[in-house]
Amino acid sequence: MRRLFLPIVCVALIVVFLWEYQTIIVPLYSYSGFTYYSPGFGPLGWAVVLCIIPLLIIPVELFKPSVFLVWWLYVTTFVPSILMPVITRTLPESDAIPLQLSALGSMLLLCAVPYAKTLVLPRAVMPRSSFWWIVMIGWAGCIVFSLASINGPRLLANFALLLNAGGTGGVDYYAVRADYMLQVGQTGRLFGYIGRELVTAIDPFLISYGLLSKQWWMLTIGIVGQLVYFGQTGMKEVPLSIIAIFMVWVLSRKYRKKFGIAFLLAVTCLLIVFTSADLMTHSANFSTLFTRRDLAGPGLLTGFYFEHYSKVAHPGHAFTGNGSSQLIGPPQEIGFYYFGSANVDANANFWAEGFAEYGIPGIFAFALLVALALWLFDSIAAQRSLELAVLLTVVQADALTNSSPLTVLVTHGGILAGILLYCAPDHDKPLWPKARMKQLWPHLGGEGALSR
């Protein structure tokens, strides 16, 4: 009965998305490709049918972390990638149908991952105290390195710009980002990699573990780490990830049996609230933060990638200058071709990136790589806390909407998140062994010290 309700909610989501897209996004951002052309009942109906088909097999109950990841990719990447090329007329029907069917086939592959039997992995043997010393030293090292790369007044000035961004049309975000790129140029790419690992793996782990174990100091330092990086880079996805973790935590606790329905309804309600708020305030602040960035944007870029690389050669991975005449990658080429700037990195989802590099076989190859990563993460989570595993995937899921799988695993902390989950002690037990604390207590001035 629950599965029969899914298509109804999916159609409601599509209707609300199209309403918000035409009402808020198109009038303000048509110059960057966010246009709308009525596709007619036939093409639009075909797209809706394609969006409904995965709902026949996608799990409704949240019983593995891959269930959340698949639902996130379905809502933020698959559905927009099917709809946006149709309503923007990026592709003619003759080209769109093969690519839509390829995306559908790979989506069905991902939907089957949660049903796969997981590996039986041995549990990590590490003392809780050793684990937490390593995590906290790593967190402190990342923070110190980041703060050493930007002086205090500069960080405060960036925060002031960000807080004032609402009155300047968001221009200040780009000023802070330009300042960040200048820092990376001055300090080396290591600065960017360390910051990414901090905000995509270490901080989310501390926030998630702090929530589940009710260790509020841990939750606090995780949020502080995110805000420091936000102050340096102006990347809005960083503070939004904090909100997303809290929302997924609520959904996973209250609606585990009906997670798929709850997730679809939650996104639909968010779109209604954001559209209403923007209409009341005569702005696009909320729609820009979520709808344009996480729904319309990935779908638009999928259309751009499919259109462009249907006409030109697929470069494969030989676009780094190692003996190849292709000196730039697909994101830079799309940025230059569609946005007129060599400085725009139009990073897209793994379907678009796979097609750009290898054509239709690349769509399935990249989807297979994602499926393998999800299966391995499920195997790690099999003997760990399901809630912790799910919350750790929130940032990784968001990264997959705008990055290739290898980039998510290496640069966006996917591998590190898996290691942290594998080694993490149970969150329902004390952080430090009680026996060890009793030994240390006298030396810290406890009862043993008073009795001497």
Q: What is the pLDDT of residue 188?
A: 59
CA nearest 437: which of 135, 127, 212?
A: 127
Tell me the C-alpha distance between 211 and 220, whole Å: 10
In angstroms, the CA 356 to CA 312 distance is: 9
Distance CA 409, CA 416 (A): 8
Q: Where are the alpha helices (DSSP H) in 120-258?
A: 128-148, 152-163, 171-187, 189-197, 203-213, 216-233, 237-254
Interior/surface letters 411-447, b for 16+ CB within 10 angstroms, e for the rest? bbbbebbbebbbbbbebeeeeeeeeeeeeeeeeeeee
| CA dist., res. 225 & res. 195, Å (int) | 9
Alpha-carbon torsion, ordered 340, 342, 343, 346, to 10 deg:
70
Q: What is the pTM of this model?
A: 0.87
Q: How far apart (Å, rounded) are the C-alpha atoms in residues 133 and 138?
A: 8
**Structure tokens of 336?**
């230059």
Are residues 70 and 12 in contact, defined by beta-carbon separation less than 8 angstroms?
A: no
Per-residue pLDDT of the chain (452 residues; tens, 9 = 90+): 678 889 999 999 999 999 999 999 999 998 888 999 988 888 899 999 999 999 999 999 999 999 999 999 999 999 999 999 999 988 777 778 888 999 999 999 999 999 999 988 887 778 888 899 999 999 998 888 777 766 566 666 666 655 555 444 444 555 666 666 666 666 656 666 788 888 899 999 999 999 999 899 999 999 998 888 887 777 778 888 999 999 999 999 999 999 999 999 999 999 999 999 999 998 888 888 889 988 999 999 999 999 999 888 888 765 443 434 445 788 888 988 888 776 677 888 999 999 999 999 999 999 999 999 999 999 999 988 899 999 999 998 998 888 888 888 888 889 999 999 999 988 766 655 554 444 444 444 444 443 33
pLDDT at res. 183: 64
Written as one letter, the residue type at 376 is L
Contact 176, 234 (CB under 8 A): yes
Between CA 329 and CA 436 the distance in angstroms is 53
CA distance 180 to 285: 23
Q: Are 264 and 9 in contact (CB under 8 A)?
A: yes
Residue 294 CA to residue 398 CA, distance in Å, equals 8
Residue 244 is predicted with a pLDDT of 93
Give the single-character DSSP code of 424.
P
Q: Scanning the structure block, which residue is given the tokens 């960080």? A: 155
Structure token digits, residue 325: 């005449």
Determine how many CB atoms are found less than 10 A away from the CB of residue 189. 9
Alpha-carbon span 378 to 113, nearest angstrom? 9
